[in-house]
Amino acid sequence: MEPYVIDVNRLANDIKGYIAQLKSTYFENKDPIDDNEIVLQKLCVKLETALRHGMKDKYSFLGMRKDYWNFFSECLPKDEGVRYVNSLSQ
């Protein structure tokens, strides 16, 4: 039994609303959106909720939890842009 039920339509509408707010903020201020933007933080929470929706806990042979992030971290290093960013010194 799930501890809570996710309303997929509301989740999608919330994501669309946050994107619209971010676009509006950008076009009004002409400044880039940064991590301090509360609406961006809310959007990230909703996106993570959407990505995790319906996922079951899975464990690899070594007992580590498999998650959508494992897929991203395995696939993205092959991307030319990610390789370039990783090659830059901090």
Q: Which residues contact 9 (CB under 8 A, 6 or more apart)?
A: none
Residue 1 scores a pLDDT above 60: no
Task: Say what the pLDDT of residue 52 is.
Answer: 78
- The pLDDT assigned to 68 comes to 66
Candidates 57, 69, 49, 51; CA nearest to 6 is 49
Q: What is the pLDDT of residues 57-74, one digit of tens each?
A: 666 666 666 666 666 666
Q: What pLDDT sits at residue 19? A: 96
Interval 73-84: pLDDT, tens: 667 766 676 666
Q: How far is it, in rounded angstroms, from Cα 6 to Cα 55?
A: 12
Domain ranges of the chain: 1-54, 57-89
